[in-house]
Chains A and B, each alone.
Chain A
Amino acid sequence: EVQLVESGGGLVRPGGSLRLSCAASGFSFSSFSMNWVRQVPGKGLEWVSSISGSGSYIHYADSVKGRFTVSRDNTNNSVYLQLSNLRAEDTAIYYCARELVGTTSPLDYWGQGTLVTVSS
């Protein structure tokens, strides 16, 4: 069974940093690109970042470019999102999601999310 479990969220002051983790199980982790998607509570979904299975290809939304860094550890089946220089508008639930290969790249499995709150 595919499982994605995020952790690392919490309350952080503006300008602060946080590292989110997503532990994956139940599939061949290194074969899949992984994505981060965030959602302000009560609002819509915003794609944040993706990283290919090898880690060679990385993309970011303009809203986080230069402040967030995605990485992965295929030995430990985990993907990470380092959040830096945080702003109030980064407050959201952050989901990690697996990208299905061989089709139109939908996000077929999602974790339960971890809440990041940026506030003084």
Chain B
Amino acid sequence: DIQMTQSPSALSASVGDRVIITCRASQTISVYLNWYQQRPGQAPKFLIYGSSSLQSGVPSRFTGSGSGTDFTLTISSLQPEDFATYYCQQSYSVPQTFGQGTKVEIK
């Protein structure tokens, strides 16, 4: 199975800050990397597919990049509604696997 490792596991940031979350795969996955946001008490919400393609309706302050084994999710200017947990997921091979999550908290 492909292991996905996110860092950091948690971070504290202020509104307006730039936030970067990294995700590393244990083997190459090309660009088969997707990102999700989960707010407390809610189901995950799909943000980005193919490493860098924004899902329709997702604000442009979210950007994804990377290929192979190293990927990043950047939030250019953190907004109050962005405080949540973010998960990367590889869809390169079965079983699909998720990172352990990065919790973005208010500083």
The chain A residues found within 8 Å of chain B, CB to CB, are: 35, 37, 44-47, 50, 59, 61-62, 95, 97, 100, 103-113
Give the top 6 A-B pairs by smallest Cβ distance, nearest first: A106-B34, A110-B43, A106-B49, A105-B91, A45-B98, A47-B96
Report Cα–Cα, A47/B33, bound state, in Å. Answer: 15
The dominant DSSP class at the A interface is: strand
**Contact A108–B46 (Cβ < 8 Å):** yes
Which residue from chain B places its CB closest to the CB of A45 in the assembled complex?
B98
A-B contact list, 14 entries, CB within 8 Å: A37-B44, A45-B44, A59-B95, A61-B95, A62-B95, A95-B44, A104-B31, A105-B96, A106-B91, A107-B89, A109-B46, A110-B45, A111-B43, A112-B43
Report Cα–Cα, A113/B38, bound state, in Å. Answer: 13
**Contact A103–B50 (Cβ < 8 Å):** yes
**Contact A103–B95 (Cβ < 8 Å):** no
Q: Is B28 an interface residue (CB 8 A)?
A: no
0 or 1 for each of B54-94: is its CB under 8 Å from A? (1 = yes): 01000000000000000000000000000000010101001
